[in-house]
Amino acid sequence: MAFGSRLACTLLAAAAVVAAGDARARTAIYSYVDADGVRHYTDVPDDGRYRRLILSPRELTESGQHYDPRLLARATQYDSIIERAASNSAVEANLLRAVIVVESGFNSRAVSRRGAVGLMQLMPATATRFGVSDPFDPRENVHGGARYLRFLMDRFGHDVRLALAAYNAGEEAVERNGGRIPPFLETQAYVPRVLQIYRLLSEQARRT
């Protein structure tokens, strides 16, 4: 079974788990991929293979909106876009997925209070800079976000942590801080959060 098909089935299962429970009792969503390559999700991990994947639906994405399990269940509709953008920009597809999870929770209509838009939460100036005319269009948004992330990777010596910090706080903020992650609480939380999801997705891909 293809990665996208497995992910679709198991994300749907995750949505069912999330929808069935009391949101106030949930603290996280956990995931693992079994020997047959099937991805499993739960909010009550009863197997040592489970690893925490994302925050609970009551908590917020970077867009300022709550995670919506229905959107996560439909996330595989963007697989071909993500894979093509990853190939074109030489950025790992699972890194793009991790950024999207944290930025928008796969909500292509997400708009933050600061005006960041779409799946990868592009600011208008960034969208224009990287050739995005309609940031609500998933293909344009992901390709533009991938190009921006590639640019940041190149600018900061292929250091993923610094590239992510710059994606969140801005290139100048990283440079003003001497090429280190800026001392902003949001950014200090953002970088490990994206990396946690990226590593989990990468580990699961290696097991399949």
User: What burial class does residue 181 get, using C-beta atoms within 10 Å of its C-beta: 0-12 exposed, 13-18 middle, 19+ buried?
Assistant: buried
List Cα–Cα distances, 129 to 78, 106, 125, 149, 193, in angstroms.
Answer: 23, 23, 6, 13, 26
- Respond yes or no: is residue 186 known to be catalytic: no
Residue 196's contacts (CB-CB under 8 Å, 6 or more residues apart) are 52
**Total number of residues shown for the chain:** 208
Which of these, 110, 39, 106, lies nearest to 69 by C-alpha position? 106
Query: Residue 123 and residue 178: Cα distance in Å, rounded?
Result: 24
Among the listed residues 103, 171, 186, 203, the single catalytic one is 103
| Active site members | 103
